[in-house]
Amino acid sequence: MQDLKNRILANAVKAFNPLRIRIGGSLQDQVYYKVGKFPKNCSNFEKKSDGLFGFGDGCLHMNRWDELHGLFNKTGAAITFSFNALLGRIQSDEDDTLWEGDWNQFNAKSLMKYTIKKGYKIDSYELGNELCGGGVAAKIKAQQYGNDVKKLKKLVTHMYPNPADRPKILAPGGFYDEQWFKEFLLTTGPGVVDGLTHHIYNLGAGRDPTLIDKLQNPFYLSQIAQTFKNVENSAKLFSPSSGPWVGESGGAYNSGGKTTSHTFVNGFWYLDQLGMTSTFNHKVYCRQSLIGGNYGLLNTTTFIPNPDYYGALLWHKLMGKNVLSVTHEGSPYLRTYSHCSKTSGITVLLINMDKSTTFDVSVVDDLNIYPDSVESIHQREEYHLTPKDGNIQSDVLLLNGTPLKLTSSLDIPEMNPKLVDPMFPITVAPRSIVFATLRGFQAPACA
């Protein structure tokens, strides 16, 4: 169990202002909440050969729930909590991975009641983990799950009568299956699901020896784009009010790659995913995980941020909600994305996966005009991310040539840009990532 009072952890969460934290995962559908007299016995997870994922049931004590919210309240985190969706169901006689019967909401209601009484804020509730389609260790039929999500919506509406502070409803929190998603959304109907959540692990197994090659292969990374497009289409067709979310994504499953997922090279996949999902109208992207496994944004033992933490923080600080269409003429190893900046102008993200080629990038508008040549009073703000000693498997990230390190008081360091004459192109070194904010760029979508 993580030390929730760790200062680095608190500072890392606080820096996002706010950071969305999803509490859930593989074992959530075996968790009971110790509220009042239920359950009678409240034990920790223990290995069980015939249990889901090799474990028996576990229990969340309210003192731990209080400790978690102590951290959340101090750091301003936005919380998504995912309920146990298997409570009340039984395994099918014909298929032991299929769970049948109605969801029992009693324990969830008790936790909700306790949470409201304590004044704890929840941004959104989700039901179940990876139970859609073929499931992972367990599955539920789409119509049954849709009816249960409607039950959750009704419960949340009753418990939170004021729409202003009512948590959103997220579902189904698993891997995309077109027919299952269609049937589920037709069952719920519009206005029930606020976020259509799906999970992505498009890099395969963490132990795959070719993982480092996949991370640098733009053709491989582009294969997942069709899934993002399909989820976007499902949301538009069957539930226009529910925008798609990536509810969980660690790149490589089974805790990620030992020598890659916590290092600089993973940023090629991660920042490319943030850019790609935005172009397919995804509203939220939840990274697996904040801490834990090889893919944690923070080191599991020291809590020191890994390179992807800083990449995520720069994205959060610079890239606004409005996504711009961007194309470039040149190598597929250069990936380009652009959003309206969170302040003024636009911010472009340039990812150079090429081992030896430097790209000089000039940004022009639809009329093929170099905006900064028209209005050059604004210096361009550039953030160049490179690995220490040029080693893409380093977990030390350089910003404009300087290592990013915690301050003496264990705060997240300031990430200041270098200022560049806008008349010059953006130079993107081999195996590097660049954010550039162009204050003088007049994009109509950003007006």
Told to judge if 130 belongs to the known catalytic residues of this protein, a careful annotator would answer yes
Tell me the three-class secondary structure of 318-382, residue by residue.
HEEEEEECCCCCCCCCEEEEEEEECCCCEEEEEEECCCCCCEEECCCCCCCCCHHHHCCCCCEEE
- 226: its two tokens: 């069709």
| Helix, strand, coil share (%) of the chain residues, nearest 5 | 30, 25, 45
Task: Say which residues have a Cβ less than 8 Å from residue 267's Cβ, sequence separation at least 6.
Answer: 307, 308, 311, 351, 385, 433
Residue in 130, 232, 381, 382 annotated catalytic: 130
Residue in 100, 178, 232, 248 annotated catalytic: 248
DSSP 389: G
Contact 292, 328 (CB under 8 A): no
Q: How far, CA to CA in Å, does 429 sit from each of 350, 375, 440?
A: 10, 26, 24
Cβ neighbours of 66 (radius 10 Å)? 12
List, in sequence order, every residue forming a beta bridge with 61; answer none if it has no partner. 34
- Strand-pairing partners, residue 246, are 198, 285
Per-residue b or e along 238-261, where b marks 16 or more CB atoms closer than 10 Å to that residue's CB: bbeebbbbbbbbbbbbebbbeebb
25: CB partners within 8 A, 6+ apart = 82, 129, 248, 288
Q: CA of 320: how far to CAs of 80, 275, 341, 347, 394, in Å? A: 22, 12, 5, 8, 29
Question: Is 248 considered catalytic here?
Answer: yes
Residues with a known catalytic role: 130, 248
